[in-house]
């Protein structure tokens, strides 16, 4: 019940903002609670050990609301095949892809995240970017699991994420403009390419006017699940 309420609360907040409604109510869009805001289960277990966004930044002065969304892959034109999907380290000439190529996060930012000059602190902006990249990968894990549970195969060329886990290897962040607060921003992480065990992601931080405050070239690496 707590998890459902969390998504309902975030949805209610962002659907009170007209330009956010235009994003969240497009045909085929699925909303979700970002990984770090998923509540603990009755045993106290949570999907991640994140404390920064789950607790430290989860208050009225910093980031009181956030929500994620993506285009329903089942409603897309991805081809389904009988043969297995791509695996890590595959020698296929075609670069593997993700089931969900992009999963933007919308953040409600308050002055508690400001730095020296009274705008959002640079390290905090980098944290938003890292959060968006991690959510893109985690959401793909979740969707793949649901597809497999319903007996459906992954589309042709989609990377099978079973038996591997990814971690941030590097981030090249370019700060383009100061980001004043309070303000609502969209942080969009999208797949660039997958090469062997390397996954390159592109990330942008924009507001309702499409003003771009920062962009990032992110590199994630995979390890076999048994080595994590």
Q: CATH number of the domain at 112, please.
A: 3.10.129.10
Give the pLDDT confidence score for residue 66 in this predicted structure: 97
User: Would you tell me how many other CB atoms lie within 10 Å of the CB of residue 124?
Assistant: 20
pLDDT of residue 155: 84
pLDDT at 178: 97
Angle at 196 between CA 192 and CA 200, to 5 degrees: 20
Domain assignment of residue 148, yes or no? yes
Each residue's pLDDT, cut to its tens digit, for the chain (228 residues) gives 334 457 899 999 999 999 999 999 999 999 999 998 987 766 766 667 788 998 899 999 999 999 999 999 876 554 444 344 555 555 445 688 999 999 999 999 999 999 999 999 999 999 999 999 999 999 999 999 888 898 888 888 898 888 778 999 999 999 999 999 999 999 999 999 999 889 999 999 999 999 999 999 999 999 876 555
Per-residue model confidence (pLDDT) at position 16: 96
Is 178 a member of any domain? Answer: yes
Backbone angles phi, psi at 38, to 5 degrees: -65, 130
Alpha carbon separation from 94 to 54, 137, 195, 196 (Å, rounded): 38, 20, 10, 11
Q: What is the number of domains present in the chain?
A: 1
Q: Is residue 43 in a domain?
A: no
Secondary structure (H, E, C), the chain: CHHHHHHHHHHHHHCCCHHHHHHHCCCCEEEECCHHHCCCCCCCCCCCCCCHHHHHCCCCCCCCEEEEEEECHHHCCCCECCCCCECCCCCCCCCCECCCCECCEEEEECHHHECCCCCECHHHHHHHHHHHHHHHHHHHHHHHHHHHHCCCCCECCEECCCCEEEEEEEEEEEECCCCCCCEEEEEEEEEEEEECCEEEEEEEEECCCCCEEEEEEEEEEEEEHHHC
Q: Which of 154, 143, 63 is nearest to 102 (CA)?
A: 143
Domain residue limits at 134: 2-38+48-227
Distance CA 228, CA 137 (A): 16
């Amino acid at each position: 019940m707590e998890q459902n309420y969390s998504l309902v609360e975030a949805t209610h907040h962002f659907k009170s903002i007209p330009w956010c409604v235009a994003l969240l109510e497009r045909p085929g869009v699925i909303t979700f609670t970002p990984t770090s805001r998923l509540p603990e289960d009755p045993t106290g277990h949570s999907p991640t050990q994140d404390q920064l966004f789950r607790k430290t930044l989860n208050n009225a002065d910093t980031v009181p609301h956030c929500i994620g969304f993506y285009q329903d892959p089942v409603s897309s034109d991805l081809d389904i095949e009988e043969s297995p999907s791509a695996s890590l380290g595959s020698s296929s000439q075609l670069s593997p892809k993700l089931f969900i190529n992009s999963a933007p996060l919308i953040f409600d930012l308050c002055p508690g995240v400001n730095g020296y000059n009274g705008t959002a602190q640079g390290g905090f902006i980098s944290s938003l970017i890292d959060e968006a990249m991690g959510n893109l990968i985690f959401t793909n894990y979740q969707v793949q699991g649901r597809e497999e549970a319903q007996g459906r195969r992954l589309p042709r060329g989609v990377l099978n994420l079973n038996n591997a886990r990814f971690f941030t290897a590097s981030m090249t962040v370019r700060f383009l403009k100061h980001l004043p607060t309070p303000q609502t921003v969209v942080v969009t992480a999208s797949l660039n390419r997958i090469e062997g065990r390397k996954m390159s992601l592109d990330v942008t931080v924009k507001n309702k006017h499409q003003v771009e405050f920062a962009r990032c070239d992110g590199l994630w690496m995979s390890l076999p699940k048994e080595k994590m």
